[in-house]
């Protein structure tokens, strides 16, 4: 009897442990009604995506896509501050420094996940409440529905850390109206709340505190079609009056953005900004001068080429660029300056746009043979 009791204690202890590890799991994957729900659960890290989260989410989406009992997929974040602030940049940096293959696996896994979302046959609803940047944009923007709230903060700030607006940025940014996507990708400009809807990143705008009710209603839908889901989201969207009459923050600058960011090269864009001389242009010039010159050149070409590619071609191109950045100097220096030492004064190499040769840029876009991303 004692042995049985001991065994019971061991089992109970084990159950308790599995419960604990469950609530501390970095990503929660559960099925409620006809909905598959993905919850990014690293609130202290602002739900930044790491490799193990990516490796759990990808197969689950593929499984739900094939499951006749799953009608929609919902993705959200915990903690109230962020939906997902990006990828786990620190881990990638550490891996890249020592030539660990994680710096390949991470981007490969992340871009495959972005593609799975972009091609998902089941309606995919992202509740982008709070900070949504970089990798967080990647797991939301390619889905059918993106619900922003008054707490949403969107940005693609990669040029400030020696990277480029990846996760399919080469696909969605040049498809925004006018040259606004180029402006967002090159300057890392942040958009908040309803502006995220107005720029075309979000499809709906709902009050943050109404999200639990919206989620409940989505789960309760009987065999929901894309139309039914759209109708439900629209009804919430129509009822939301927060900042309803506020003008789009970039409205007054749209004309300038479209003309200034239409240059064929970074040098031309800089020249246009200098010639324009308005306070807005000068502010953009100041921002651009802080960014990695290499990143700026890679980004401009990425967006120009991505404009006429499909999502798969874009992700393939971006994988090549990610590996070029892993081999370079600026990414590690940018992460050091912005995230580690936080001195905000990176020493870029090369330090000027003129020093980043076309030949160098061309090389970054070259196919990687067997190492290319396969989708």
Residues annotated as catalytic are 87, 135, 158, 166
- Bond prior to 350 in cis (omega within 30° of 0): yes
Query: Cβ contacts of residue 216 below 8 Å, gap of 6+?
Result: none
d(CA 87, CA 191): 19
d(CA 196, CA 318): 24
d(CA 108, CA 373): 6
User: In degrees rounded to 5, what are phi and psi of residue 319?
Assistant: -65, -40
Pairing of strands 153-155, 191-192: antiparallel
Q: Are 247 and 195 in contact (CB under 8 A)?
A: no
Token pair in block for residue 223: 């065999």
Q: Are 148 and 197 in contact (CB under 8 A)?
A: yes
Q: Are 16 and 106 in contact (CB under 8 A)?
A: no
């Amino acid at each position: 009897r004692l042995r049985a009791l001991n065994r019971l204690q061991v089992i109970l202890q084990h159950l308790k442990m599995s419960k604990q590890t469950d609530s501390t799991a970095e990503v929660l994957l559960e099925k409620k009604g006809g909905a598959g729900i993905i919850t990014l659960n690293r609130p202290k890290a602002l739900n930044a995506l790491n490799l193990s989260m990516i490796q759990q989410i990808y197969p689950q989406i593929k499984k739900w896509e094939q499951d006749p009992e799953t009608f929609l997929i919902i993705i959200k974040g915990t903690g109230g501050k962020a939906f997902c602030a990006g990828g786990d940049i620190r881990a990638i940096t550490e891996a890249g420094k020592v030539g660990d293959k994680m710096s390949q696996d991470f981007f490969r896994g992340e871009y495959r996940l972005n593609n799975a979302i972009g091609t998902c046959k089941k309606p995919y609803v992202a509740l982008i409440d709070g900070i949504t940047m970089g990798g967080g944009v990647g797991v939301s923007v390619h889905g059918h529905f993106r619900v922003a709230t008054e707490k949403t903060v969107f940005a693609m700030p990669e040029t400030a850390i020696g990277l480029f607006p990846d996760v399919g940025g080469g696909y969605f940014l040049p498809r925004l109206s006018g040259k606004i996507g180029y402006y967002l990708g090159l300057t890392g400009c942040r958009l908040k709340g309803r502006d995220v809807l107005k720029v075309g990143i979000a499809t709906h705008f709902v009050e943050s505190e109404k999200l639990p009710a919206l989620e409940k209603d989505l789960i309760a839908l009987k065999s929901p079609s894309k139309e039914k889901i759209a109708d439900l989201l629209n009804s919430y969207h129509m009822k939301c009056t927060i900042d309803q009459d506020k003008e789009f923050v970039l409205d007054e600058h749209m004309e300038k953005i479209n003309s200034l960011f239409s240059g064929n090269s970074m040098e031309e864009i800089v020249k246009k900004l200098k010639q324009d001389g308005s306070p807005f242009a000068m502010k953009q010039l100041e921002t651009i001068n802080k960014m990695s010159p290499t990143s700026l050149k890679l980004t401009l070409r990425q967006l120009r080429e991505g404009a006429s590619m499909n999502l798969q071609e874009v992700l393939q191109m971006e994988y090549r660029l990610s590996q070029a950045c892993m081999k370079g100097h600026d990414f590690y220096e940018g992460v050091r300056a912005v995230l580690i030492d936080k001195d905000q004064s990176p020493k870029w190499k090369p330090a000027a746009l003129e020093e980043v040769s076309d030949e160098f840029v061309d090389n970054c876009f070259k196919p990687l043979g067997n190492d290319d991303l396969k989708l």
